[in-house]
Amino acid sequence: MAVVDLSSSLEILAREPEGFSLWDGPPFCNDQPRIKLQRVPCKNARFSEDGSRLMVMKSDSTINIYDCRSSAEIRSFEVPNILAATLSPCGTYLQTFQKSSTPQEKNLILWKTETGSPVYQQFQKNMLSTTWPSIQFSLDEAVACRLATNEIQFFDAEDFSKGIIYRLRIPGVTAVNLSKAPGSHVAAFVAESKGIPASVQIFACGKDSQTQPVARRSFFRCSTVQLSWNHGSTGLLVVAQSEVDKTNQSYYGESKLNYLTTDGTHEGLVPLRKEGPVHDVQWSSSGSEFAVVYGFMPARATVFDKKCNPLLELGTGPYNTIRWNPKGKFLCLAGFGNLPGDMAFWDYTEKKLLATTKAECSVTSEWSPDGRYFMTATTAPRLQIDNGIKIFHYNGSLYFKKMFDKLYQAEWKPEAPERFGEISELVKSIDLSLKIDESKSKGQGPKSSQVSTKTTSINPPAQKPAAYRPPHAKTSAVIQAELFGAGNPTEEMSKNALRNKKKREKQKEKKVAEGSSGANGT
């Protein structure tokens, strides 16, 4: 039985125009999250991959690094004309890219977050989203490399003062992807040139074993690729994309899914059962299976094993997104972007559909680190209206919803899934802790009420939704109540109805009394 670490709790970062806030994650007390940190002004905020550090960009020249456990500021950096910044996976290094005024100026800088000193500097002409961050790290920061002209440069991740310790020459290389856990291999993409087809090659990261690629796959009609390593660094999924579809079936070009293994046992196409583009692909946490959404609408979704054998068909529908929870037990199949927001929640271990629901206009979506909740967010600048957050249970039921005037970012604070137990164990432990908290609050009496007033709540207590009324039947009082929150319109209407009913009863009694008096007079 796995040990449940109750000290590990979920946290949510939400960034608005005024700055970012940090919430305590679900389960919420009284169905409302508590604000752990209230609206810190910033232009951007990002966690390190392990959740130990938080990078806050307060202006175009100021970056602060915080320790996530103590909320203490570790270091502040003054770097003029920042165009991009990111933390290494463990938060050891801060990488910045600046606007360069002269070619001699070294505008790519790697800083040590603890000391604030630069450990590596290099001039870089431009920065693209496909090549950022320039210096890539493995998840444990044991391996570091950088793409340069016709080569990949490797560094000693513990001592960058040594400079480049060895180089891997690959003529024409335009993109690289270092495997994360472990950092044993690197994938390199060479674009098509002068009639020579494009290719993806896999090399071992050891200096003595880089003479020949351990795997290679060539592509015709390929302009860009998406590279995705599995956990364990044994398999690589390659989505090869071309800007033009020679068959004229798709306006958005053509895409194919390829699979390569580091032991050379498989180098080829994944056998998809429907024609059309590859919308999304994701590995499970174990690295033994991957799920793919593919084909012309309605798209199809399938789970494959490491030998590309289909394990489970997830059906067809208006889908373009697949998200596997960190425990590998649940899947969310969804249709976001220009699709209506349909979602299907699957229990992969039981091979059954749990529920279907909708989250319209969602821009981002991700499972919580414990695998119990699924959060979607509608954010600016992609969408300027109806910004908000929705959190669903793993079974598809809506748990929480909050709307914003404008929301730029919403994400979970990263945590290692191993710190959390299985779903059933988490439910038992959380129910127990909630009961203990409730008993303590009851025993404290007035003090508990004083403490509760200090805790900031994001939303007022949820009210029971009113019954539907057609627009022509709404009075001005009801409209005003809905727009400006002037009381509960259903209560006001019921009072008026009761008052009118009493008037009618009094009139009836008066008529009966008058009728009886007239009869007595005759």
Q: Cα–Cα distance between 282 and 323 in angstroms, integer?
A: 7
Average per-residue pLDDT for the chain: 82
Predicted confidence band of residue 433 (pLDDT cuts 50, 70, 90): very low
What pLDDT is recorded for position 265?
86
Predicted confidence band of residue 284 (pLDDT cuts 50, 70, 90): very high
* Alpha helices (runs of H) in 445-488, residue ranges in sequence order: 446-454, 476-484
Helix (H) or strand (E) holding 389: strand 388-393
Nearest-5° Cα angle at 369, 158 to 185: 40
The residues spanned by each domain of the chain are: 169-269, 274-417
User: Which architecture characterizes domain 274-417 according to CATH?
Assistant: 7 Propeller (2.130)
Say if pTM beats, i.e. exceeds, 0.95.
no
The mean-pLDDT minimum among 356-360, 451-455, 498-502 falls in 451-455
Question: CA torsion sign, 172 to 178 to 179 to 184?
Answer: positive
Determine the residue type at 47: F
pLDDT digits (tens, 9 = 90+) for 26-49: 988 888 888 888 888 999 999 999
User: Do 21 and 29 form a contact (C-beta atoms < 8 A)?
Assistant: no
What the block records as the tokens of 422 is 């299985």
Please state the rounded mean pLDDT for residues 184-200: 90
Determine the residue type at 231: H
**Alpha carbon of residue 35 to chain centroid:** 20
**Most confident segment among 199-213, 244-258, 269-283, 471-485:** 269-283
What pLDDT is recorded for position 6?
42
How many Cα atoms sit within 13 Å of 278 on the Cβ side?
Answer: 22
Determine the residue type at 509: E
Q: Distances from the Cα of 3 to the Cαs of 7, 240, 299, 430, 503, in angstroms?
A: 12, 42, 40, 13, 67
What pLDDT is recorded for position 222?
86
Collapse the DSSP code of 261 into the 3-class scheme (helix H, G, I; strand E, B; otherwise coil) and give the result: strand
What pLDDT is recorded for position 245?
66
What pLDDT is recorded for position 70?
85
